[in-house]
Amino acid sequence: MKILLVLPNSNGYLGRVSKSGKAGIARLSLTTLAALTPHEHEVVYHDARLGEPDYEGNWDLVGFTGMTSEINDVYRMADKFRPKGVKVAIGGYHASALPEEAAKHADFIVVGEAEGVWQQALWELQNGGLSRIIYHNESFITMKDKEIPRRELLNRDMYTSYATLQSSRGCPFACKFCTVTKFFGNTYRYRPVEEVISELKIFPDEHWGFVDDNLAGNLQYAKKLFKAMIPLKINWGSQSSFNITKYPELMDLYAAAGGVYIFIGFESLSPANIKNMRKGINQPEKYAQGIKELHKRGITIIGSFVFGFDEDDLSVFKRTVDFVNENNIEAPFYNILTPFPGTELYEEMKRNGLTHDFNWNHYDTCHSVITPKKMTSEELYNGWAWATRESYKPGNLLKRIIRFDSNWKYRLLMTYSYYRKAHKICPQPHHPEKYNSSL
């Protein structure tokens, strides 16, 4: 069969291709799907951020991936292919959370991991037809012998972070707002260390980015992996829970293995918010010390915070910005609390009538789709925009990054990339004076 795999566009700025043709991180969803596709089929990859797919091509099947914020674009393109008699498949996070909705735009949906069911659906398509509309991968793969993504389908020059890989899936924690918990059925699985190492060896000179949700989710595994990475002499970054700061040896190994930046979900400075979201591994009273420990090892921090939790009132914005500046979190990243389909938060907020906007284009954490408890939805949006712009004022930014160590280059690059995002995403807030107070 001739199969077209399409990466959608999204409405917002995050994840888009710049005017000069540059994209950030290379996603592994479709390159992995391509690797799973038996060789007898021809696979063509299309990045819809660069333009429309070829609706007139003689495709047998078109497969779309999609996060929630991208799904409307997927549905739009799918609805153009189907009248031409082309079969359409949709997979990924949104379709897995709301398969019945996605099925209105597709011939079949894959819920969860594609490994196994994708091959089954392709076989059925060729041998008499599909046996169902929703293919649900009930079991989770072991991660051993995981296919190597077909990165050659991507244009290397387009990406600032081309060499991405995945060593684990899922997360050992079950935070109420996170998509991963439901998607991976609360499992945390990791690949044999030697397989990760041999994948890293494919591009010995690249800067690697792990797309794992929590690279340090298992202490013993992470230690083993980092130790094995030391001889490779590469530089890389990943996402990890704040938990890592509890273990000095693990942080030492992270840095020794070439880990130059880390993305940490601090989420909130309020212990009550943390408790309510069931992210007990985060202890706000220990944030400052944990940040110091990472900095001591030359690791740049991308600190992710969320605004709009139950305890957040108008003072949350300034308090958070002050904390970020005082503790020199190089690249703060602020999100508006967004109840993603498939999460417990989504069900709870929907039930309580606290979600007022179900336009998936707005589910990019840069729109306020909820009515928070202690401020209005508009205040949440404006406060978020104020905090983002305030944090990336040149004075604040420079204060956070000027330190003398060998990793200054990454610190500068990372911060610059978030500085650009901040200015592209955030409008000038209305009534900024409202947010400039921590009282």
DSSP per-residue codes, 157-169? GGEEE--EE-SEE
Which residue in the set 37, 179, 300, 388 belongs to the binding site for ligand B12 (CB under 6 A)? 179
Query: Three-state SS for 317?
Result: helix
- Binding-residue total with ligand B12 (CB under 6 A): 40
Closer CB to ligand B12, residue 365 or residue 388?
365
- Contact segment (CB under 6 A) with ligand B12 among 23-31, 78-86, 251-259, 400-408 equals 23-31
Cα gap 141→313, rounded to integer Å: 43
Cα gap 370→378, rounded to integer Å: 10
Span 334-353, contacts to ligand B12 by CB under 6 A: 335, 340
Length of the chain: 439
* Interaction of residue 379 with ligand B12, rule CB under 6 A: no
Q: How far is the CB of 406 from ligand B12 (least distance, A)?
A: 26
Q: Which residue has the tokens 């907020």?
A: 349
Alpha helices in 61-203 (DSSP H): 71-81, 93-97, 99-103, 117-126, 179-183, 193-200
Closer CB to ligand B12, residue 68 or residue 325?
68
CB half-sphere exposure, 325, CA atoms < 13 A:
19
Which residue in the set 4, 72, 81, 115 belongs to the binding site for ligand B12 (CB under 6 A)? 115
Q: 236 forms bridges with which residues in the sheet?
A: 208, 259
* Interaction of residue 25 with ligand B12, rule CB under 6 A: yes
* Interaction of residue 24 with ligand B12, rule CB under 6 A: yes
Which residue in the set 37, 86, 87, 92 belongs to the binding site for ligand B12 (CB under 6 A)? 92
**Structural tokens at position 312:** 């957040």
Closer CB to ligand B12, residue 265 or residue 297?
265
Cα gap 354→259, rounded to integer Å: 40
**Structural tokens at position 149:** 């993504």
Asked if 64 and 78 count as a contact pair (C-beta separation under 8 A), the reply is yes
Amino acid at 272: A
**Structural tokens at position 259:** 């880990």
Name the residue number minimizing CB distance to ligand B12: 91
- Contact segment (CB under 6 A) with ligand B12 among 74-82, 108-116, 189-197, 288-296 equals 108-116
DSSP per-residue codes, 20-74? TS-EEEPP-HHHHHHHHS-TTSEEEEEETTSS---TTS--SEEEEE--GGGHHHH
Asked if 301 and 329 count as a contact pair (C-beta separation under 8 A), the reply is yes
Closer CB to ligand B12, residue 364 or residue 379?
364
Q: How far is the CB of 229 from ligand B12 (least distance, A)?
A: 19
Closer CB to ligand B12, residue 297 or residue 340?
340
* Interaction of residue 370 with ligand B12, rule CB under 6 A: no
Which residue in the set 3, 4, 27, 244 belongs to the binding site for ligand B12 (CB under 6 A)? 27
* Interaction of residue 168 with ligand B12, rule CB under 6 A: no
CA 398 from centre of chain? 27
* Interaction of residue 33 with ligand B12, rule CB under 6 A: yes
Closer CB to ligand B12, residue 114 or residue 291?
114
Q: 62 forms bridges with which residues in the sheet?
A: 4, 88
- Contact segment (CB under 6 A) with ligand B12 among 91-99, 249-257, 295-303, 422-430 equals 91-99
Which residue in the set 45, 59, 75, 93 belongs to the binding site for ligand B12 (CB under 6 A)? 93
Asked if 350 and 290 count as a contact pair (C-beta separation under 8 A), the reply is no
Which residue in the set 37, 68, 368, 415 belongs to the binding site for ligand B12 (CB under 6 A)? 68
* Interaction of residue 364 with ligand B12, rule CB under 6 A: yes
Which residue in the set 70, 107, 199, 267 belongs to the binding site for ligand B12 (CB under 6 A)? 70
Phi, psi of 121 (to 5 degrees): -65, -40
Q: How far is the CB of 289 from ligand B12 (least distance, A)?
A: 26
Which residue in the set 34, 72, 73, 91 belongs to the binding site for ligand B12 (CB under 6 A)? 91
Asked if 7 and 191 count as a contact pair (C-beta separation under 8 A), the reply is no
Under the rule (CB under 6 A), what is the footprint of ligand B12? Answer: 7, 10, 12, 14-15, 24-25, 27-29, 32-33, 63-65, 67-70, 89-94, 110, 113-115, 118, 166, 178-180, 211, 213, 335, 340, 364-365
